[in-house]
Structure 1
Amino acid sequence: MQGTTSKTITLTHVHGLGYSGDGQRILIPSHLGLKVYSQGKWSDGQGEKHDYMGFTTVDNGFYSSGHPAQGSNKRNPFGIVKSSDEGKSFEILDLYGKIDFHLMSASYKTHTIYAVNPEPNSRLTTTGLYYSKDDAKTWNKSEMTGIDVELSELTSLAVHPTDDSIVAVGTTKALYVSKDSGNQFEKIADLQVTSLTFGMEGNIIVGSYKQKGVIYQMDLQQKQLVEVNIPDLVEDAASYIAQNPTNTKELVFATFNLDVYISLDEGMNWRKIADKGKGV
């Protein structure tokens, strides 16, 4: 892939994190377009340098919301779009030019989309959690029973990779899981959730802050938080986490201070691949 070398890659913000379907490339949406990390090198992603938000990778591409690049003829905001060529182009799905979804996720295999709607509109008439099983052609409203906080306190959203009726929500105080498409949630841990994803085998991987940044894994059957060995995150925490879909031992996470770390052995050893937003 053609692109800028590591020396000049800058992450001005990080708005998501995921792997290409073949597990060969890490895709990071930044304020100034997609950045790609592959085989030890950074490059700019293909296509216009859009400001993708609510970014989530699936087995054949990614779904996103966000805003167009400066000088682009695309409408602002994006609503919901899907790309099957890593951002070279995208397909407009819904609410184009109307809504920017910051909290959005999709099931890796089934592509069911979940989104937290921030304001009523012509398609989603109230605020709250919605899901679509047909690429945003039709929507269902989730009841969200069991979560007693304001939408503004939701920090993260993740969908099970194969069972799209299982959805997890993180807040500033707790982790919740629903097994019926977001209608009824159960609180499964008291912690400040800073990031959230599902591993390929259906385990939850959750970032938190407790005197310092921490990452836990949780098996949904056991419901026990198991701490992952990570570098010391002083006054910092994981903002996004992803697991390689073709090699579950490989993990990557980004932090609020724009550091990015990768492990090839389930967290035993880590290598810093971005330092304060600068590609290493």
Structure 2
Amino acid sequence: MKKGIVLSVLSISLLLSACSSSGEAKLTSVKNGKKIEDIHGVGVANDGTTYVATHEGLFLTKDTGKSWNKVGSMDADLMGFNMRSDGTMLTSGHPGNKTNLPNPIGVLMSKDNGLNWDKVEYVGKIDFHVLTSYHHDPKVIYGLNQMGTGQYGAGIYRTTDGGKKWTKIEPNGLPNDLMKVYSLLVLPENKDTLLAGTEIGVMISKDGGRSWKMFDNTRLLSAMAVMPNGKDIIGYSMSNLVSGLMISQDSGQTWKSIGLDLGKDAASSISINQKDENQIAVSSYNTSLYVTKDGGKKWSNIIETGTLK
């Protein structure tokens, strides 16, 4: 494994409907060339719109980066951003100066593509850097709390009812420092089976995140997602042999490359249009965004090192 590259790349990285009036829920045009700070997640909606969760809120483009809009009025630092298979959005993070939520903001959900957000749980208590949900039942959500103390300390948090009731899980077998876990995915085969991309390799849990063992020590998966067919998974794989975006049709046992080798950079999040598997968006740790509409044959770099192109 390219340990030197992995460590150097990944160290770089490493409201509201209840709080916003309908008059504030709008799209605001922003100029190309604008600088943004950090991309914490990406989502591709069924209509082809690409959403980017950043340090200063949510942005969108409907035309592959030719024009951009700020979504809503919030300026929160959107961590753990996840667009679920039903099109709803989850996020966590920290409030900006114009957001009247406590810090951290806990788990928030949007049913209208980020215009308005509802409080779900842990507001003022937890900042989830990773949120993932089960493809076949989005009410099943896992959150990775990499830091924290006391009752709301580091660990994996799980809900099976959309966020009404959560269980804190102490993951046995993952690195003690959960900052060394870079991606988390619920495999489509079972809501209790998860893969984690860690500094030491890919690990698997078959009991809802409680116990973990090594699954593949030949690669690091810096980002993962489930394909729209609800069977295959997609991930950004880094290994001694080959790196890039890859598809697995056997739950991560083998992988087929579809290109996009980012060299010394790495993918931080991946999203696929649930109505068109050929439209994929990939964000990277150096604040870049790549999109394809043909399944990976041709890629467009529409955000380059933090600049909206």
- With the shorter chain as reference, the TM-score category is 0.7 to 0.9
Instruction: Give 2:262's aligned residue.
Output: 233
Instruction: Give 1:63's aligned residue.
Output: 90
CA deviations on 1:33-89 (whole Å, 9 max, x unpaired) are: 101121233211123122111111121421111111212222211111111122222
CA deviations on 1:217-262 (whole Å, 9 max, x unpaired) are: 22235711222212x5232111111111111111111112222111
Q: Does 2:77 correspond to 1:42?
A: no
Contact kept? 2:186, 2:193, Cα under 8 Å: yes
Give the whole-Å Cα distance in 2 for the aligned partners of 1:158 and 1:6.
Answer: 35
What is the 5 A alignment of 1:1-280? Answer: 2-20=27-45, 22-40=46-64, 41-58=67-84, 59-111=86-138, 112-117=140-145, 118-122=147-151, 127-142=154-169, 144-147=171-174, 149-160=176-187, 163-190=190-217, 191-200=219-228, 201-210=230-239, 214-220=244-250, 223-230=253-260, 232-280=261-309
Change in CA separation of 1:173 and 1:206 when aligned onto 2, cut-off 3 Å: farther
Q: Which runs of 5+ in 2 are unaligned?
A: 1-25
Give the whole-Å Cα distance in 1 for the aligned partners of 2:31 and 2:70.
Answer: 9
What is the identity, as a one-letter code, of the residue corresponding to 2:224?
Answer: L
Change in CA separation of 1:6 and 1:261 when aligned onto 2, cut-off 3 Å: farther
Give the whole-Å Cα distance in 1 for the aligned partners of 2:92 and 2:33.
Answer: 26
Q: Which has the higher contact order (CA 8 A, sep 6+)?
A: 2
Q: 1:6 Cα deviation (Å)? A: 4.8
Contact kept? 2:44, 2:280, Cα under 8 Å: no
TM-score (norm 2): 0.80
Q: 1:184 Cα deviation (Å)? A: 4.2
Taking only aligned residues, the RMSD between alpha carbons, in angstroms, comes to 2.5
Contact kept? 2:135, 2:226, Cα under 8 Å: no
CA deviations on 1:99-151 (whole Å, 9 max, x unpaired) are: 111122222442211012333554x5x63222101232222344645535532
Q: 1:92 Cα deviation (Å)? A: 1.0
Q: Which runs of 5+ in 1 are unaligned?
A: none
Contact kept? 2:288, 2:306, Cα under 8 Å: yes
% identity of equivalent residues: 25
TM-score (norm 1): 0.87
Change in CA separation of 1:221 and 1:63 when aligned onto 2, cut-off 3 Å: closer
Contact kept? 1:109, 1:162, Cα under 8 Å: no
CA deviations on 1:126-179 (whole Å, 9 max, x unpaired) are: 632221012322223446455355323211112246843332211012112334
Q: Which moved more, 1:162-171 or 1:139-148?
A: 139-148
Aligned residues: 276
Partner of 1:165, secondary structure, is coil
Q: List, as ranges, runs of 4+ consecutive aligned residues in structure 1 with deviation greater than 6 Å.
A: none
